[in-house]
Amino acid sequence: MMKSMLAGFGVVLATSFAAQAADLGRPAPAAVDYVKVCDAYGAGFFYIPGSQTCLKIGGYVRAEYRVWKTDADFGALYGLTNGVKGPANNSATTRVRAQLTLDTRTNTEFGLLRSFTEAWYTVDSGSASPSVDLWKAYIQLGGLTAGRAQSFFDFYTGDHYASVYETAHSDSQVNLLAYTFSFGNGVTASLSLEDSTTGNATRRFNSFNIYGGNKYPDLVGNVNISQAWGSAQIMGALHHDQPVYSNKAEWGYAVGGGVTVKLPMLGAGDTVSFQAAYAKGAVSYVTPDPLFGYDFLPKNVIVVNGGMSQTVAWSLAAGLTHNWSAKWSSAATVSYLNHDGGAANFLNIAKLQADYTQTDAGINLVYAPVEGLTIGAEVEYKRANFDGKSVFLPIKETDAVVGLLRVQRNF
C-alpha cells in the first residue's frame, strides 16, 4: 500500500515538473492595464489606457411633455423665421432627447490640449426617427479654439429651460476660429471669426429669402471678467449683409454688454443677470428667437442692383436663479425686444417692413429627489405687438403660452 502511494505521489510530482518546464518556453502574460482615475481636472475623468490623456464621459436622458396655446397668426409667423410652424390653437406635444459629451484633456509643452464633443439625439412629436445634432465639437490649445462652439458674442443666454421659446439674447453654436488672451485676475479678451451660415440659431434671419452667398465670416470680439463676485462682458460683432438681388452689400453690426452677480445672501448658487444689446442688420445678436425677423429688405420696388434697408433691433434681458433648498430650485427670465424693420416701401405707398415689440418670459420650479435626477415644470410666454401698417403683417398683436413637464437624468 505504501509503495503504491509513493509511486502515485512520484507521478504527480513528475507531471508538475514537466508542466512547469513547458511553461518556461511560453511568453509571460501581459500585465493588466487597469483604468486609472485622473483627478487633475475634477471628478469623473480617467486616463485612457496606454496614454496620458484624461477622458470624461457625460450626458443626459430627457423627456418633455408640453401643452400649447397659440393663435393662427403666431404659428404662421413663427414658422417663416424659424423654419418650424408653432402649433396653432390648443395642442399637446412631446420630446425625448439623449445627450452625449466627451471631454479629453492632455498636458503638453504648449499648455493644455483639450477637445470637447456634444451630440444630441432627439425625437419630437411627428417624427418617426431621431434627429442628430452635433451641438459642439472643438479643439483648444492655450488660447486657441477651433471647431464648433458657443459664439464668443454670447454671454447671458437665459436661466430657465427655454425649451420652446428663448428670451431675447444671443445664443448660437457656430463653426469658428478664435483666440483668447488672458491678462490675469480673471480678465480675458477674445477675437473670433465665425461662419454665420452654421449657427443652430441662425445668424442670417431671412424671412423673405433675399440673402445671397456668404462672402465673409462674422468678426466677433469680447472683453470678459470673471471673479468671486460674478462675471461681466462687453462684446461686438460685424456681420456681412449680402442680398441675392444685388451686388451692393453692406456691413451690419451688433454691440452688447451684460453682468451676472452671485447672491450668496439669498442662497448658495443664487445669481441675478442683466444684459442689453443693439444691432443693425444683424438681428440674431439681440435675439435667437424673434416671432418674425429679417436683417434687411430692398429699399424699394426696384431691387435689381438696388440698395437695402437694414433692420435695427435692440433688446433687454434679465434673469434670476434661486435655490429654495438642497432639493428645490427655481429660475426666471424676462426680456423685451424692439424690432424696427427699416424704411422699405412699395412705390412710396405701401409699407413693407414689420415694426413690432416682443416680450418673452419663462419661470420654472425644479425638484431633485436624488442626485442626477430632476423633475421640473415650466411656463413660457411670448407676445408680439405690431404697428399694423405693414402690407405683409396687417395684425396688431399675437401671443402664445406653453406649459411643460421635464424629467431628466444626468450622468
Query: What grid cell was written down for 74?
Result: 403666431
**Looking up cell 462687453, which residue turns up?**
234
How much is the pLDDT for 126? Answer: 84
The rounded distance, in Å, linking the Cα atoms of 192 and 172 is 14
Burial of 319 (0-12, 13-18, 19+ CB in 10 A): buried
CB atoms within 10 A of CB 2: 6
Region for residue 297 given its phi and psi (left: phi exceeds 0; alpha: psi -120 to 50; beta: otherwise): beta
How much is the pLDDT for 243? Answer: 83
Contact 324, 330 (CB under 8 A): yes
How much is the pLDDT for 391? Answer: 61
CB atoms within 10 A of CB 212: 14
Contact 8, 17 (CB under 8 A): no
How far is residue 387 from each of residues 16, 210, 339, 374, measured CA to CA in Å?
A: 98, 23, 11, 42
CA 226 to chain centre: 20
Region for residue 83 given its phi and psi (left: phi exceeds 0; alpha: psi -120 to 50; beta: otherwise): left
How much is the pLDDT for 115? Answer: 98
How much is the pLDDT for 85? Answer: 46
How much is the pLDDT for 334? Answer: 97
**Looking up cell 428667437, which residue turns up?**
289
Q: Provide DSSP, 59-109.
A: EEEEEEEEEEEE-HHHHHHHHHHHSSPPPPEEEEEEEEEEEEEEEEEEEET
The rounded distance, in Å, linking the Cα atoms of 286 and 167 is 10
The rounded distance, in Å, linking the Cα atoms of 410 and 157 is 21
- Domains along the chain with CATH numbers: 54-410 (2.40.160.10)
Region for residue 217 given its phi and psi (left: phi exceeds 0; alpha: psi -120 to 50; beta: otherwise): beta
In order along its 411 residues, the chain shows pLDDT tens digits of 444 544 454 444 445 444 444 455 566 555 556 789 999 999 999 999 989 999 999 999 999 999 988 776 666 566 545 544 455 555 888 999 999 999 999 999 999 999 999 999 999 988 888 899 999 999 999 999 999 999 999 999 999 887 788 889 999 999 999 999 999 999 999 999 999 999 877 778 766 677 888 889 999 999 999 999 999 999 999 999 888 877 788 899 999 999 999 999 998 999 999 999 999 999 999 998 777 777 777 665 555 556 778 889 999 999 999 999 999 999 999 999 998 876 655 545 445 667 889 999 999 999 999 999 999 999 999 998 887 666 666 678 888 899 999 999 999
CB atoms within 10 A of CB 32: 6
How much is the pLDDT for 242? Answer: 85
Among candidate residues 382, 370, 385, 378, the one with its CA nearest the CA of residue 405: 378
The rounded distance, in Å, linking the Cα atoms of 349 and 193 is 41
The rounded distance, in Å, linking the Cα atoms of 243 and 360 is 30
Among candidate residues 146, 242, 167, the one with its CA nearest the CA of residue 197: 242
Among candidate residues 1, 98, 115, 123, the one with its CA nearest the CA of residue 48: 115
The rounded distance, in Å, linking the Cα atoms of 210 and 244 is 5
The rounded distance, in Å, linking the Cα atoms of 127 and 121 is 12
How much is the pLDDT for 300? Answer: 57
CA torsion 76-80-84-89 (nearest 10°) is -10
The rounded distance, in Å, linking the Cα atoms of 218 and 151 is 10
**Looking up cell 423627456, which residue turns up?**
63
Burial of 219 (0-12, 13-18, 19+ CB in 10 A): middle
How much is the pLDDT for 349? Answer: 46
How much is the pLDDT for 6? Answer: 41
